[in-house]
Amino acid sequence: AQSVSQHNHHVILSEAASLELGCNYSYGGTVNLFWYVQYPGQHLQLLLKYFSGDPLVKGIKGFEAEFIKSKFSFNLRKPSVQWSDTAEYFCAVNDPRGKLQFGAGTQVVVTP
Amino acid sequence: DGGITQSPKYLFRKEGQNVTLSCEQNLNHDAMYWYRQDPGQGLRLIYYSQIVNDFQKGDIAEGYSVSREKKESFPLTVTSAQKNPTAFYLCASSGWSEQPQHFGDGTRLSIL
């Protein structure tokens, strides 16, 4: 069973549209949460992370994510996407063993 | 520039052959990881090492082997026992477990 679930496998949207990618996990207790991005032809990069504190975290390139503990969710958002945001986005969670578990990824295509 | 270097970028293997993928980091990180990336499945952990001369199996270790003789190096051998080796392999490192991981550019392995 998938321990980290990303709701959409493919998302297509136009420039300036808002983006929200869902991520849910199934672990109890304290977790560390991450969003990684893989641009075409590039290596995985960290977008943002949540360890503790303010549940609304801001990352690079205008992305933010909200941790909602009661919903076991860590959704990624960007108010206005650009063509350069075309990439694959991965949610990841440290499981109770401390190992990083990845979601299946969401391929985002932004059209001009 | 600090980072992770994986080589080669592309690798072809004949049936029954073992092949070794290289991963070197100059970030002075203690922990290193090997993942396999398949379309629609995200990243799955093969092996990880938190310290020199020690490593543990991840979720899909069967058919793979690793060594960690030096802090900066964590080579992965794909053995002939791995029945479906065609995939994209990613190496990562972190300061310690649960910290954000830094990724290499990956090695794409194909079977001839």
Q: Which residues pair with B102 in a beta bridge?
A: B93
pLDDT for B67 beyond 90: yes
Say if the Cβ atoms of B98 and A32 lie within 8 Å.
yes
* Cα–Cα distance for residue pair B42/B37, rounded to 1 Å: 6
How do residues A5-56 score in pLDDT, each as one tens digit?
Answer: 998 899 999 999 999 999 999 987 788 999 999 999 888 999 999 999 999 9
Cα A87–chain centre separation: 12
CB A8 within 8 A of CB A21: yes
- Give the DSSP per-residue string, chain A: --SEEES-SEEEEETT--EEE-EEE---S---EEEEEE-TTS--EEEEEE-SS-SEEE-GGG-EEEEEGGGTEEEEEESS--GGG-EEEEEEEE-TTS-EEE---EEEEEE-
Residue of chain A nearest B98, judged by CA positions = A98
Identify all chain B residues contacting A9, using CB atoms and an 8 Å cutoff.
40
Chain A CB contacts of B101 below 8 Å = 46, 100
Distance CA A102, CA B101 (A): 12
C-alpha distances (whole Å) from B7 to each of A23, B61, B95, B102 are 32, 20, 22, 16
Q: What's residue A39's pLDDT?
A: 94
pLDDT digits (tens, 9 = 90+) for A57-108: 999 999 999 999 999 999 999 999 999 999 999 999 987 777 889 999 999 9
